[in-house]
Amino acid sequence: MHYRTALVTGASSGLGRGLALWLARRGTRVFAAARRQEPLQALAQEAQAAGATLEPLDMDVARAEETVARIRQLDADCGGLDLVIANAGVGGETSGKRFPWERTKQMIDINVTGAAATLSAVLPQMVERGRGHLVGVSSLAAFRGMPTHAAYSASKIFLSTFLESLRVDLRNTGVRVTCIYPGFVKSEMTANNRFPMPFLLETEDAVERMGRAIVRGAPVFAFPWPTARFAQLVHSLPDALFDSLAGRLL
């Protein structure tokens, strides 16, 4: 598929930055959204040097009502968004033994409410136009409630289930839905991870895989396959066995 216009949230670093540039280099007019504007300006200059069109957009998805209004206005101004990628997200530990409510609320505001606001803002308009593509970046951590990561795993479970229901609802409307489950990728989010990270991917490699999956309209894309297969196996374990194995990571 070819997209005239695309919105990518969380585009100031990591996968969001890479996806915004990947799409722009392929002829899409990309609106790169994030809170941090200095990295976005640098990204716009990099895109311009490559002859691509990328426009920075100041947006904090944690402010859900503002996000919806901003995306609707953008949709009207650009003649319709063809692709919306809800990538903005935050992580971190939320151990049940020392549970940090402030960090948990931040994850819910960004990973749950912010993602839902981003994806639903112009969904009625996409249905009316009979075209569009919604993409959410979940995580392999959504397959089970990972130890010390209750808020993060739960936030990604919400996103994947939200997208699954939308995918069923939107059949035969012309609007596609894709849920992406990345494994471990080198980024700001994983830089301080104290757990082992098998099959750790470079950002460029992960972006290329995600970009190809989006363009071909894959409904679900989990990668890399060894980590994805392991996550699927863990998902199928009986609760008692999972609790025992996961407890050894603490």
User: What digits encode the pLDDT tens for the residues 114-125?
Assistant: 999 999 999 999
Query: What CA–CA distance (Å, rounded) separates 71 from 81?
Result: 9
**What is residue 209's three-state secondary structure?**
helix
pTM: 0.93
> Does 82 score more than 60 pLDDT?
yes
Task: For residue 145, give both structure tokens.
Answer: 């409630």
Question: What is the structure's pLDDT at 190?
Answer: 59
pLDDT tens, 224-247? 999 999 999 999 999 999 899 888
Q: Tokens for 237?
A: 């374990």
> How high is the mean pLDDT of the chain?
94
Point out the catalytic residue in the list 22, 152, 221, 223.
152
- pLDDT of 24: 97
- Report the distance separating Cα 208 and Cα 250, nearest Å: 34
3: annotated active-site residue = no
**Measured distance CA(134)–CA(126) in Å, rounded:** 10
**Beta-bridge partners for 58:** 34
Alpha carbon 190 to its chain centroid, in Å, reads 15
Q: What is the pLDDT of residue 186?
A: 80
* Alpha helix positions (H), 216-249: 225-235, 239-247
pLDDT for the residue 193: 63
pLDDT digits (tens, 9 = 90+) for 176-201: 999 999 998 887 665 566 666 666 89
The tokens for 236 are 């199928």
Q: Which residues pair with 21 in a beta bridge?
A: none
3-state SS, one letter per residue, for 126-155: HHHHCCEEEEEECCHHHHCCCCCEHHHHHH
Burial class (CB in 10 A: 0-12, 13-18, 19+), 135: buried
Length of the chain in residues, anyone? 250
pLDDT over 70 (residue 130) = yes
Residue 28 is given by DSSP the state -
- Residue 195 φ/ψ, nearest 5 degrees: -90, 160
Helix%, strand%, coil% for the chain, nearest 5: 50, 15, 35
**Is the pLDDT score of 170 beyond 80?**
yes
Give the chain's domains with CATH numbers.
5-247 (3.40.50.720)
Residue pLDDT, tens place only, 50-71: 899 899 999 999 999 999 999 9
Closest CA to 164 of 197, 187, 195, 142: 142
